[in-house]
């Protein structure tokens, strides 16, 4: 055979594999509103950048008639490519081939590209669309999952790991995405659950649809398992591309800088925060008043909305924002918001991203529900995360900073590098009303007019403590600043921290409260 003929043979072989699970299965995939695995990769990556590996891998299963089946690529595509010129390793499960189920060789392909990503220190993107462990391959499938989980864990904090759920992700399969940094879901397409509707019906006698059990909205709004929601696969890929621009390739690098652009004039920082500490406002407007070009890329936008997390840029450098959201539950810390913030703080710390914390909260949420849901354990996560973090940590107290909430939100006492407060900041053990009721209880109840006396005592407490100057007098606040000075103070703090050295005691690892 001449080389020319051999090239033709290769092309034919490739085309066969490219046909996936065959015409019918591809049609079924399209009918479900889903792209094929290969189309997904090609749409996500830069044009002509994808290089595929292990195209001709074959499964080795022999039981249950498997010896008679050809499963192209064993139901998964792996390779390398680029996003905006940045290299990534990628895999995509092909649902048209045996439901994208995970057999031994399928898992070996995935672990191969994971090892590659770790060796080359580049981000890993996994597109999940699978019926889970390939039932015919028994324990070999389970072994495959275990090897993936192990690698997800080792890669955690070394390279960015992104999971995209574009179909079912059932059974133990969900734990790989759960171990990764960011999970993307698409409405009506993503389904994630440990036990499916049929099992639930058999065991519990309850009927539930897959969508209601573990659809995209459920994981964005209720469980917090997913970080980014979109209406279509194309929108989802755009979000992934955007995320990639904000994060570094690995934990030894910084995110690529962007050209600096001043915040837009529409965001007037002086007039966003109302003077009355009980009046709500949207904290995102404050973030946009500070960031380059007023851009903010929010993460977990639909879950635990009382805290806002996400990326912005300051003088072109990626910055992680953590901010209480007075629009929701007055911005309190609770079980979910602590969890959400803590994980994000650890992400920023692992990937050399400075953290800016904007504070306006009345404290931790009181109540039996929160206590019994473990607000002590979950609330401790945020303290741990801030204390552990050694990236530049800058705090701006905008208004209320009461009690444990004040300490938790990257206070000086958790070793923030810079703490600034606006003149309207109120830094106290609790709100003036609660404080007056406790310390002046006798005077209030013994007064001729208790209501008058209460008001008087509230004012007395407020005048004494509900301001930033007591904390500033102790050096807990470095500077009381005007709102319009905020961007410059943050910029200078980041600049001066670019070679920050912060030592932590040597240990194998800490034992955070999770
Ligand atoms: C082998 C599978 C499979 C699996 C699907 N297929 N899941 N083959 N093992 N786990 C095959 C189907 O037999 C079918 O093959 C093709 O893929 C398409 O599947 P359909 O059922 O026709 O598709 P659809 O109607 O869209 O339903 C998709 C589905 C359903 C909801 C995912 O297939 C399903 O419920 N699968 C089982 C899900 C599950 O319970 N997985 C958990 C396994 S245990 P043909 O040849 O007919 O086209 C597990 C534990 C791991 O994962 C633990 C790790 C720690």
Closest ligand 1 atom, residue 146 Cα: 55
**What's this model's pTM, rounded to 2 decimal places?**
0.95
Domain 269-429+466-496, CATH class in plain words = alpha beta
Ligand 1 centroid to Cα of residue 133, in Å, is 8
Q: Can you tell me the distance from the alpha carbon of 360 to that of 381, in angstroms, rounded to the nearest whole number?
A: 19
Q: Where are the beta strands (DSSP E) in 269-412?
A: 297-299, 307-314, 317-324, 355-361, 393-402
Q: Which listed CATH number (3.90.1150.10, 3.30.413.10, 3.40.109.10, 3.90.226.10) goes with 22-246?
A: 3.90.226.10
CA distance from start to end of the chain: 62
Which one-letter DSSP state was computed for residue 421? E
Ligand 1 centroid to Cα of residue 305, in Å, is 35
Q: Can you tell me the distance from the alpha carbon of 79 to that of 97, in angstroms, rounded to the nearest whole number?
A: 18
Closest ligand 1 atom, residue 198 Cα: 35
Ligand 1 centroid to Cα of residue 263, in Å, is 50
Q: Which residue has the tokens 């208790």?
A: 450
Q: If we measure between CA atoms, which residue out of 431, 432, 437, 419 comes closest to residue 474?
A: 419
> What lines the ligand 1 site, CB under 6 Å?
98-99, 101, 131-135, 142, 145, 168, 170-173, 196
Q: Which residue's C-alpha comes closest to atom 37 of ligand 1?
A: 131
Q: Tell me the sheet residues that pair with 90.
A: 79, 125
Same fold, 22-246 and 269-429+466-496: yes
Q: What is the pLDDT along the chain (514 residues), one digit of tens a residue?
A: 899 999 999 999 999 999 999 999 999 999 999 999 999 999 999 999 999 999 999 998 888 888 888 899 999 999 999 999 999 999 999 999 999 999 999 999 999 999 999 999 999 999 999 999 999 999 999 999 999 999 999 999 999 999 999 999 998 899 999 999 999 999 999 999 998 899 899 999 999 999 999 999 999 999 999 999 999 999 999 999 999 999 999 999 999 999 999 999 999 999 999 999 999 999 999 999 999 999 999 999 999 999 999 999 999 999 999 999 999 999 999 999 999 999 999 999 999 999 999 999 999 999 999 999 999 999 999 999 999 999 999 999 999 999 999 999 999 999 999 999 999 999 998 888 888 888 899 989 898 999 999 999 888 888 888 899 999 999 999 999 999 999 999 999 999 999 999 999 999 999 999 8
Ligand 1 centroid to Cα of residue 196, in Å, is 11
Stated length of the chain = 514
Q: Which residue's C-alpha comes closest to atom 17 of ligand 1?
A: 99
Closest ligand 1 atom, residue 134 Cα: 9
Q: Encoding tokens for residue 372?
A: 């019994």
Ligand 1 centroid to Cα of residue 95, in Å, is 9
Sequence ranges of the domains in the chain: 22-246, 269-429+466-496, 432-465
Q: For 187-304, where are the alpha helices, taking DSSP H only?
A: 197-204, 210-214, 216-217, 233-246, 283-290
Query: Residue 282: what pLDDT?
Result: 98
| Exposed/middle/buried for residue 509 (C-beta within 10 Å: 0-12, 13-18, 19+) | exposed
Closest ligand 1 atom, residue 132 Cα: 52
Substitution candidate for ligand 1 out of 132, 166, 196 with most atoms within 8 A of CB:
132
Q: Tell me the sheet residues that pair with 396.
A: 358, 420
Q: Can you tell me the distance from the alpha carbon of 436 to that of 456, in angstroms, rounded to the nearest whole number?
A: 9
């Amino acid at each position: 055979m001449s080389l020319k003929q051999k090239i033709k043979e290769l092309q034919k072989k490739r085309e066969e594999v490219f046909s996936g699970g065959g015409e019918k299965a591809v049609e079924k995939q399209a009918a479900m509103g889903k792209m094929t695995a290969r189309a997904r990769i090609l749409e996500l990556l830069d044009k002509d950048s994808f290089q595929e590996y292990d195209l001709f891998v074959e499964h080795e299963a022999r039981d249950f008639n498997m010896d008679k089946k050809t499963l192209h690529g064993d139901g998964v595509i792996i390779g390398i490519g680029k996003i905006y010129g940045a290299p990534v390793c990628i895999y995509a499960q092909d649902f048209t081939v045996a439901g994208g189920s995970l057999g031994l060789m399928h898992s070996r392909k995935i672990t191969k590209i994971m090892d590659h990503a770790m060796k080359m220190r580049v981000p890993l993107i996994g597109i999940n669309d699978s019926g889970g462990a390939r039932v015919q391959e028994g324990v070999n499938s389970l072994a495959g999952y275990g090897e993936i989980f192990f690698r997800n864990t080792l890669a955690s904090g070394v390279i960015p790991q992104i999971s995209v759920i574009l179909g079912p992700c059932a059974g133990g399969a969900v734990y790989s995405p759960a171990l990764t940094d960011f999970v993307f879901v698409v409405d009506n397409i993503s389904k994630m659950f440990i036990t499916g509707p049929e099992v639930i019906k058999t065991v519990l006698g309850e009927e539930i649809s897959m969508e209601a059990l573990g659809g995209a909205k459920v994981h964005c709004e209720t469980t917090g398992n997913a970080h980014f929601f979109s209406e279509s696969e194309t929108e989802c890929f755009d979000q992934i591309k955007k995320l990639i621009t904000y994060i570094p390739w690995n934990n030894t690098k910084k995110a690529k800088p962007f050209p600096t652009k001043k915040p837009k004039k529409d965001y007037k920082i002086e007039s966003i925060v109302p003077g009355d500490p009980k009046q709500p406002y949207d904290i995102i407007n404050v973030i946009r008043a500070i960031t380059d070009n007023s851009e903010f890329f929010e993460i977990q936008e639909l879950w635990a909305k009382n805290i806002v997390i996400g990326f912005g840029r300051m003088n072109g450098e990626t910055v992680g924002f953590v901010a209480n959201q007075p629009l929701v539950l007055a911005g309190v810390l609770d079980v979910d918001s602590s969890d959400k913030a803590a994980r994000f703080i650890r992400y920023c710390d692992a990937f050399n991203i400075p953290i800016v914390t904007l504070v306006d909260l009345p404290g931790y949420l009181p109540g039996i529900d929160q206590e019994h849901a473990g607000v002590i354990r979950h609330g401790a996560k945020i303290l741990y995360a801030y204390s552990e973090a050694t990236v530049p940590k800058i705090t701006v107290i905008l208004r209320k900073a009461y009690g444990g909430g004040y300490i938790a939100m990257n206070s000086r006492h958790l070793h923030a590098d810079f703490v600034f407060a606006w003149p309207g900041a109120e830094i106290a053990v609790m709100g003036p009303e609660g404080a007056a009721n406790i310390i002046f209880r006798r005077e209030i109840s013994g007064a001729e007019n208790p209501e008058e006396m209460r008001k008087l005592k509230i004012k007395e407490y407020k005048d004494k403590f509900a301001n930033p100057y007591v904390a500033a007098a102790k050096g807990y606040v470095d500077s009381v600043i005007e709102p319009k000075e905020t961007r410059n103070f943050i910029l200078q703090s980041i600049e001066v921290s670019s070679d920050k050295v912060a030592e932590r005691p040597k240990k194998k690892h800490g034992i955070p409260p999770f």
